[in-house]
Amino acid sequence: MTVHVWDYLPEYEAEREDLLDAVDTVFRSGRLILGDAVSGFERKFAAYHGLAHCTGVDNGTNAVKLGLEALGVGPGDEVITVSNTAAPTVVAIDGAGATPVFVDVREDDFLMDTDQVAAAVTPRTRALLPVHLYGQCVDMAPLRELARRHDLVILEDCAQAHGARHHGRLAGTMGDAAAFSFYPTKVLGAYGDAGAVLTDSAETDARLRRLRYYGMAERYYVVQTPGHNSRLDEVQAEILRRKLRRLDDYVRGRRAVAARYAEELGDLAERGLVLPSTAEGNDHVHYVYVVRHPRRDEIIEGMRRYGISLNISYPWPVHTMSGFAHLSRAPGTLPVTERLAKEIFSLPMYPSLPASVQDKVVAALREVILAL
Ligand SMILES: *Cc1c(COP(=O)(O)O)cnc(C)c1O
């Protein structure tokens, strides 16, 4: 049996009855598109964050894209973000017709280096798009100050940070709008594709509702272009509505797994293993458990021999991918991001990770690293 970095089956076994009941509830409701499940989840997800509005969409990529469009970002506009992210962040900026502009990340926590953002602002800059990567938040105060000074909007990419807090404030409550993914691996995961955009602005929310519904404000009549079909599915919404009640438990479970890794692996620092660090003011939710070692590839190969398949989030910085070769940054220009991509790897992390499996991972990793 191979151990993977993520596995939803233990959770499914534990929650099966509730999840199947969710499916049955929707199927028997008589309404399969934009019904009570979607509106119910939207209300609950907004309330969880203490915000006025949530619009459910079909996935996290479109949450970012529609979020930008709803905030008035489009062709000719520059959006400052990081290259050390899941490519969909950047795919979505591109999809909105805007131009991604990259800054580097910090060496210790791999998050956006906010000190570099001011120098990246040009007359065309329209938005800042911080990515709360791996489960902890970017330092928002300097971004908010820059946004105020240059009249920019802020869209938070919260796809990896459900329930994370920054100086006590939840991820998704610190900008003009926030994009979430509920891709199954995420901290709050659906059983398929799903996403949402949060905002406190009624105007932005109204635009989002039209954007996900062909550009229509009412049936059959388009009032706004571009329009999309980006609706959140009823079944996924009902599953999410139920799983949202357990979000804080999932976060606690992830923190327990992380604490155990830290305890069991801390002494390998002298063998070059760097464990995740939490930035000041952050409550980390450990979407992924990313560690660092200069001999990463040998470690991954060694772990494979123990039947443990590790992952790299992410092996290629976005700006080095051929699909983004047209963007401003050439390879070599974001040194921290590029160095990290060669040294990082992820250990198994999910709240239902059985202790016996974690033990096996820890024991194998110790052996592999000590034998290097
Ligand atoms: C997962 C993810 C996305 C994309 O979400 P999908 O639901 O897969 O479209 C965007 N940004 C980040 C940071 C992500 O981790």
CATH 3.40.50.300: does it fit domain 247-370?
A: no
Instruction: For residue 342, give the nearest of 364, 320, 324, 369 by alpha carbon.
Output: 320
Q: How far is the CA of 271 from the centre of ligand 1 (A)?
A: 33
Mean per-residue pLDDT pooled into runs of 10, the chain (372 residues): 95 98 98 98 98 99 98 98 98 98 97 98 98 98 98 98 98 98 98 98 98 96 95 98 98 98 98 97 98 98 98 96 86 95 98 97 98 96
Q: Which fold has domain 15-103+110-244?
A: Aspartate Aminotransferase; domain 2 (3.40.640)
Q: Does the C-beta of 156 come closer than 6 Å to ligand 1?
A: no
What's the rounded Cα separation, in Å, for the pair 241 and 247? 10
Atom of ligand 1 nearest to the CA of 132: 13
Positions of CATH 3.90.1150.10 in the chain: 247-370
What's the rounded Cα separation, in Å, for the pair 198 and 214? 20
Check 44, 186, 243, 342 and give the catalytic one.
Answer: 186
Q: Is 195 exposed, middle or buried, given 0-12, 13-18 or 19+ CB atoms closer than 10 A?
A: buried
Q: Is 153 exposed, middle or buried, given 0-12, 13-18 or 19+ CB atoms closer than 10 A?
A: buried
* Whole-number pLDDT of residue 330: 84
Annotated catalytic residue 186: yes
Positions of CATH 3.40.640.10 in the chain: 15-103+110-244
